[in-house]
Amino acid sequence: MDITVKRNDLTKALSSVGKVIEHRQTIPILGNVLLVAEGGRLTVVGSDLDIEISASLPCDGESGETTVDARRLGDIAKRIAGDDVKLSIKDDKLIVKAGRSRFTLPMIQAVDFPRLDSGRFDVEFAIDFVGLIAPVRFAISNEQTRTYLNGVHLHNTAEGSIRAVATDGHRLAHNTACGMPTIPAVIIPAKTVGLVPAGAVEVSLNNRMCRFATADTIIVSKLIDATFPDYQRVIPSNNENVVTVDKKELASAVARASAVASERGKAAKFTIASDNIAIDVQGADGTAHEDVSAQYAGGEPVEIGFNSQYMSDVLAAVPGDEIRVSLADGQTPAIFQGYGDVLGLVMPMRV
């Protein structure tokens, strides 16, 4: 390898790939990036054995491949001066030159770098994936004992759309994209979800793996090998008491009232009646009361308790200036909807 690349291109590629690399490694080569120069392109690859990211950039010079410490090369690329960076191999070392700077880095042979074998994909389609999953990410569980909840579930609806679902057992959210192809039902890990860039991406799926591709970046990831629960069973169908409220006003009131909530419970009581939502929080060192104007289409007043943090999360996720909250009673989950196909759900709690 003896190539020249633009410093900004190299810095951008190393930053993108570095997001997947865990720097505290028991396997040294997983702290490295794979560098492959071929056909006028330099491909930079990082992996944690479950996710692989590759980014490519233009280069001039002789082809070759090696691996080098990701963090050190990234720090060098950020700090050196000049527009051009020369990468070459000499005496089993990577030589990095830019301007009047010269660095020598140890290498591990490229043949030892682990690559993910995705096999053949069953379906490919283009979508704004981040736009699809943004309203549901807040509900992903981080409880490691229930790995089937540690990601976003994608599946087809009866109408042929693709739905993204996440739940942690206390909150649930789903969003739908229309005009999509038939896909296998999959669970995409939370870490992978957080790595996908904004905007349109090419998505490829099979029963084991997923791939997200843009013009210069490819993410390949294992899927969570588990069955997502039948989430439809927890979404009530008889919540006939509907209150419509300005989302910003409700979110602000919840945030103010939760200032006195205990860190452990964050419990808040909501009383919905006629033209008002009353919010009451009782903490160890004080109480709070807020009133928010609303339009209530229901029968008797409803008293229900929510974790105030969960309420804030769902209000932030559901789009729209106004939000509709559908309730049955104080023991049934509440459904939150704004505009579009986003649905949020919060389980009640005792207060």
Rounded to whole angstroms, how far apart are CA atoms 348 and 334? 7
**pLDDT greater than 80 at residue 265:** no
pLDDT tens digit string along 133-183? 999 999 999 998 999 999 999 999 998 899 999 999 999 999 999 989 999
pLDDT of residue 194: 96
Confidence band, pLDDT 50/70/90 cuts, at residue 26: confident
Asked whether residue 247 carries a pLDDT value surpassing 90, the answer given is yes
Distances (CA, A) of 153 to 24, 162, 255: 29, 10, 30
What pLDDT, on a 0 to 100 scale, did the predictor assign at position 300? Answer: 87
The dihedrals phi and psi of 340, each to the nearest 5 degrees, come to 80, -160
User: What's phi and psi for 195, nearest 5 deg?
Assistant: -95, -20
Whole-angstrom distance, CA of residue 87 vs CA of residue 342: 48
Q: Would you state the pLDDT for residue 351? A: 80
CATH superfamily of 123-233: DNA Polymerase III, subunit A, domain 2 (3.10.150.10)
Top CATH class of 2-112 equals alpha beta
What is the per-residue DSSP string for 236-293?
-S---EEEEEEHHHHHHHHHHHGGGS-TTT-EEEEEEETTEEEEEEEETTEEEEEEEE
Location of each CATH 3.10.150.10 domain in the chain:
2-112, 123-233, 237-346
Strand partners, 204: 124, 211
Please check whether residue 253 is in contact with residue 292, taking contact to mean a CB–CB distance below 8 angstroms.
yes
Average pLDDT over residues 184-200: 96
Return d(Cα 221, Cα 206) in angstroms, integer.
Answer: 11
Which pLDDT value is given to residue 92? 92
Percentage, residues of the chain above pLDDT 90: 89
CA of 264: how far to CAs of 164, 258, 309, in Å?
A: 30, 12, 11
Tokens for 278?
A: 């009353």
pLDDT at position 200 is 95
> Of 107-111, 172-176, 283-287, where does mean pLDDT reach its minimum?
283-287
Looking up tokens 């190539």, which residue turns up? 3
Q: Please name the CATH architecture into which domain 237-346 falls.
A: Roll (3.10)
pLDDT digits (tens, 9 = 90+) for 287-334: 999 999 999 998 889 999 999 999 999 999 999 999 999 999 999 999
Cα(250)–Cα(248) distance, rounded to whole angstroms? 5
